[in-house]
A = this chain, B = another copy of it.
Amino acid sequence: MAGVDFAGRVTLHDVAAAAGVSIATASKALNDTGRMSADTRARIRRVAQEMGFRPNVLAKSLTSKRSFTVGLLTNDTYGRFTLPVMAGISEGLIDHGVSVFLCTVEDNPELAKIHVDAMLDKQVDGIIATGKRIDKPLPVDLSKLSVPVVYALTAGPADAVTLLPNDRQGADEAVQHLIAERRQRIVHITGPGAFRVVQERAAAFSEALDRAGLPVSDAAILQGDWSERWGHEAVAMLWSGDAQPDGIFCGNDQIARGVIDALRERGVGVPAQVSVVGFDNWEIVAEQTRPPLTTVDMNLKELGRQAGQALLRLVNGEAVEQGLWKLPCTLVVRGS
């Protein structure tokens, strides 16, 4: 365990007194500004160190107009998506001395407003909005704030910085993997067509088949919901027809789980007869399927980290490319 010092009641005033200088000189010594002899600077530093001086960031903020604090707004209470994003944000920002205010707002506009107001009152340098669905905005309008805003995994205005996984590229890798496994009759079992990710992944699916010279047909794309049950149903439908697929790309890991279970129940070998690829790399699902699921990882932690970096640049007034940032996904090959 790392010990943590007794929190600092020691002020700059105390340090200055102990070192026998004015607080102005002490301040400059510790910030490497101003002019003074190397001796004086070193002495003050040493005294500060010995006394365990830790500057009060609040006081600093008052003059610097920077609070080294950002707000994180999320509408996701249970899901698996935002936690890694949040972890990435927090990890990426702490290196710069920036702390993150966590605010969960459900889908409640009043609650969201309260949280945003609280953040602004606390002088956050910027805000990151994050959610569980890339085509739905949070229940609050952040576009007219006086602080910069970055969107991650949630819909933002067109002129904002918005970070998303590259669903097309991820889906493309999944399908290419199936093709590399010499699969000829590949289908896509996915979620509701209203989700943008469904459209993106389906488009990439068709494109990849086309590029490989395989037949492309809308009938190969089965839309349902995001559940295991739908995976079961889809398999039942496919196996009641005349031609069965030998490769299945699923819209998420839960559907894939349902598909794999259904295939096993029918005595269809995975991956011997049919290869299955999922999407999300939700380890708790992907590692428990039999066989373990090959799936696409969205690198959400890295996405969070980059969201933090982007916000920091905006706060510093540096140029940041507006619009959609699509971050690469990674195929995780397991046994399916």
A contact residues vs B (CB 8 Å cutoff)? 1-9, 54-59, 61-62, 67-69, 72, 76-80, 83-84, 86-87, 90-91, 94, 97, 99-104, 109-123, 137, 139-142, 144-147, 227-229, 254, 261, 265, 283-284, 288, 301
Contact = CB atoms under 8 A, between A and B. Distances in A.
A87 B229 CA distance: 29
A227 B288 contact: yes
A135 to B, nearest CB: 16
- Copies of this chain, tallied across the complex: 2
A104 B90 contact: yes
Contacts of A115: 94
B229 A288 contact: yes
A118 B55 CA distance: 11
Contact of A83 (B83, B142, B147, B301): B83
A146 B7 contact: yes
Contact of A101 (B3, B91, B101): B101
10 A-B pairs with the lowest CB-CB distances in the bound complex, closest first = A102-B102, A2-B113, A7-B146, A2-B109, A87-B104, A7-B120, A77-B87, A57-B121, A1-B141, A99-B101
A69 to B, nearest CB: 7
Given A83-B83, A97-B118, A104 B123 contact: no
Contacts of A68: 122
A67 B261 CA distance: 53
Contact of A90 (B62, B103, B288): B103
A202 to B, nearest CB: 24
Contacts of A5: 117
Contact of A78 (B67, B78, B80, B139): B80
A4 B113 contact: yes
A59 B121 CA distance: 10
A94 B2 CA distance: 31
B2 A110 contact: yes
Contact of A7 (B113, B147, B261): B147
Contacts of A254: 284, 288
A115 to B, nearest CB: 6
A122 B69 CA distance: 9
Contact of A99 (B8, B122, B288): B122
Contacts of A140: 1-2, 4
Nearest to A91: B104
Contacts of A76: 83
Contacts of A61: 58
A216 to B, nearest CB: 32
Contact of A144 (B4, B62, B97, B228): B4
A111 B94 CA distance: 9
A102 B104 contact: no
B117 A54 contact: yes
A286 to B, nearest CB: 12
